[in-house]
Amino acid sequence: MIPEPKVVNTIINGDSKQILVSERDSLLEALRDRIGMTGAKEGCNNGNCGACAVIMDGRLVNSCCVMAAEVEGSEIMTVEGLASRDELHPLQTEFLDNAALQCGICTPGFLMSSYALLQENPNPTEEETRFWLAGNLCRCTGYDKIIESVLTVAKG
């Protein structure tokens, strides 16, 4: 009845990882429940809220909608990999200094989506930023301070 566990080889935030997963695990479940990386959050488990956003082989994905078995050989970046050893990423610093979070549960997803946006479009307009981040739900802030923070980082 219980499916055989399976080993998945992947690179997470630059470190090689072997994860023992159930065939039914999503990438989000593999990260959170199998290797204890709880930075990515579960808000909906069906790709609506973006709280579980990570970057997989350079692409922004909702990790709840990726099967763990699919990441064999892939490179994953999570919120835990955003800061360097010595300092926070500018997005993290700006979110902190501009009060772009209240409860903070959506913050890891917004940071990863914003990071992906700036990789693809280093100088987004407000409208482009709002459309890019429309897949990330925040119920606390009304989005103002998040949008401002991303635009501030983009301007350098």
Partner 1 sequence: MVATGKPQYKIIGTRPRRPDGVDKVTGRAQYGADIKLEGLLYGAVLRSPHAHALIKSIDTSKAEALDGVHAVITNADLVGSGQTVQPATAEALEPGKASPRWAAESILAGPKVLYHGHAVAAVAADDVHIAQDALELIDVEYEILPHVVDVQDAMLDGAPILHPQLRTGVRAAGVDTRSDIETNLASHMRLESGDIEKGFAAADLTIEREFTSSQFHQGYIEPQNATAFWSHDGRINIWTSTQGSFMARDATADVLGVPVAQVKVIPMEIGGGFGGKIPIYLEPMAAVLSKKSSRPVKMWMDREAVFQATGPTASSYSKVKIGVTNDGTITAAECLFAMGAGGYPGSPVGAGVMCALAPYKIDNQVIDGLDVVLNTPKTSAYRAPGAPATEYAVESVMDEIAEQLDMDPIDLRLVNVAEEGVKNSSGTPWPKIGAKDVLEAMKSHPHYLSEIQGEDVGRGIAIGFWFNGGMESSSSARVNKDGSIALILGSVDIGGSRASISMQLAETLGVTYEQIAPQVTDTDSVGYTAVTGGSRTTFAGGWVVYELGQMIKAEMISRASKIWDISGDEITYSDEGTVVGPDDAEGNKRAFSFNELASKLQATGGLIAVSASSSHTTQGAAYGGHIVDLKVDRDTGKTEILRYTAIQDVGTAIHPDYVEGQIQGGIAQGVGMALNEEYYYDSDGHLMNGSFLDYRVPVANDLPMLDVEMVEVPNPGHPFGVRGVGEVPIVPPQPTIRNAIYDAIGVRFYHTPMSPRRVLDELL
Interacting residues toward partner 1 by CB under 8 A: 1-2, 22, 24-25, 29, 32-33, 36-46, 48-49, 51, 78-80, 82-83, 88, 92, 95-99, 101-108, 111, 126-127, 129-131, 133-148
Of 43 and 71, the one with the shorter C-beta distance to partner 1 is: 43
Using the minimum distance from each CB to partner 1, give the nearer residue, 20 or 73. 20
**Shortest distance (Å) from residue 15 CB to partner 1:** 15
Q: Which is nearer to partner 1, 75 or 130 (CB)?
A: 130
- Continuous segment of H or E residues that includes residue 54: strand 53-56
What are the residues whose beta carbons fall under 8 Å from the beta carbon of 138, sequence distance 6 or more? Answer: 106, 110, 146
Distance of alpha carbon 48 from the chain centroid: 14
Q: Report the C-alpha gap between 129 and 124 in whole angstroms.
A: 6
